[in-house]
Every structure is written in structure tokens, then in C-alpha cells.
Structure 1
């Protein structure tokens, strides 16, 4: 796409000021506004929203601002083995209890736990999702089913539940876990 845009610009650009056509062939002048419009058009053509474009420019993951989509985002990122995207759904000082009942504090511990888990290439389905919102805090529950292949090649299934507390992050408006207990059944 970039090469196509460059070719269009080269073929339609006027000569640089103070240069004849032959001397400035293959060169063009582009204002900052023209460049930004062109970048925005390219991003739209690539299917990126303004927030995603901004996040892509900084390397950050776009926040999930609709709590109804948070479990979908978590499940998708987990199943895609998107470790950065998954960890971004947690506050920096999160209290995380993994499926073995081990309490871990902070994103770094969440990253370590998920890195090990994602290495076996599991898939998860989050069902029976519920959330109760009070201002910028939510209590959520779910049941999950995870499938993975053992080292001997046998398919395994684990089931469980999660009880979480989420908050809206004041920095970007995204919902993030502040307490995540994946060690119990959410009945």
C-alpha cells in the first residue's frame, strides 16, 4: 500500500520549487497536513480506528472501554496467545489468583503465569458471564472451559470459574481487572 501511495504522489506531484522537472524527478514536497491526511486515509483503508491508530503508533494495546466486551477481548487475546494484549487488561497492581489458587500481585506476575500457560497453546471459552456495575467498579463472574494438548498428545479439558473485580482506568477509560480469582467456580 505504501508503494502505491508513493507512486501516485510521484506521478502527480508538481516539481519542487526552484527546480526544473528533470532535476526534481522522483522528489516531491508534502505538507504535514497532507501527510497526516494520507496516513489517516491509509489507516482507515487498513481498518484501523483513531484509537487503534494512536495505539499502534505507541505500541500500546487499545483499551476495552465497553464492559460488555471485556470478556470477549480477554477470551480472544487468550486464544490468540496475545500475551501483551492479555496483560494489558490488568491494572499494574492487580491481585491475581491463578487456577491453582496461588495469589500473585502485579502485572509482572500475571505475565509470568500466562506466559507459561500460553506456551501449551490452550483455547478457552468463557460462559455464563455476568457483571454488576457500580460507578467505575464492577463485580463479574464466569464459568470457563479450557482445552489443551498434553505433552503425550492427549487432549485435555479443564473447567472452572472466575470471580473478578474490575475498574475503569482513569488514564484511558478502559476496564481492567484489579482482582482476578480464576481458582474457584462462579456459581
Structure 2
């Protein structure tokens, strides 16, 4: 796992909180570390970024604008074995949906991330 000095997600519900914290800190490496190496990130809308390098390239200009995200309202993760569905309703009314997978060390990383389904 490529988390370096970044705190890992111990539970699937940690991922959304860590995403917001890392965006607000401008921490691109920390954001990318929330994803599996071959994860799919549906951003910008209508596109899919596959793998950490593509996710990094998509998120870099977003972080360069120094956005401030509010946490939103997260639904409790739906967990089945080593998979979990996470979802958050953002202040804007948009809803996110993500699939996370438990890693061999017990931490969680996103495999699929759809940041705006509604």
C-alpha cells in the first residue's frame, strides 16, 4: 500500500472523511493514497480515470484551486465481506457513491468512485 505517512482508512466510513480532510489540506498524495492502484474515478463528469496516475492527473488541477470542502452527510457504509458501498450527500445536493475493498492489512481503499450520481 502506498499510504506513506498518511493515516489509512481503518473502516470504510473513514474514506469520505479522509478525502475531505486531504482536499482541504491540499494533499494530493494523500488523496491518491485512498484509491487502489487500478481504481476507477468518474471525474470530470462523463470521463473515467483508471489507476492512481490518472486519478492524480485529474485531481491536481482541482487542488491547485485550493477548494474548501464541507463534510456532507455520509450514509453508513453497507459492508459485505471485503466490499463496502459508501455514499455521501454533499451540501450542493449531489450524492456520491463509492465501492471500497478491504486490503490484506485490514485497511480500506476505494476501487470505484462516482463523485456525483444525483
- TM-score (structure 1 length as normaliser): 0.56
User: What do you get for the CA RMSD once the two structures are aligned?
Assistant: 1.8
Q: Secondary structure at the match of 2:22?
A: helix
Q: Secondary structure at the match of 1:184?
A: coil
What does the per-residue CA deviation read over 1:65-121, in whole Å, with 9 as the maximum and x for residues that have no partner?
122322211110111111111110000000110142211111111101110100111
Provide the residue aligned with 1:37 in structure 2: none
Q: Secondary structure at the match of 1:141?
A: strand
2:58 aligned residue (113, 119, 125):
113
Residue 109 of structure 2 corresponds to residue 163 of structure 1:
no
Runs of 5+ consecutive residues of structure 1 not aligned to the other structure: 1-54, 146-157
- TM-score (structure 2 length as normaliser): 0.86
Q: Which runs of 4+ in 1 moved over 4 A?
A: none
Question: Within 5 Å, which residues of 2 pair with 1:28-39?
Answer: none
Q: How many corresponding residue pairs?
A: 115
Q: Which of these two proteins has the greater Rg computed from alpha carbons?
A: 1
Give the distance between the partners of 2:112 and 2:69, measured in 1 at CA.
Answer: 20
Contact 2:28 2:60 survives alignment (8 Å): yes
Structure showing greater relative contact order (alpha-carbon pairs closer than 8 Å, 6 or more residues apart): 2
Contact 2:44 2:58 survives alignment (8 Å): no
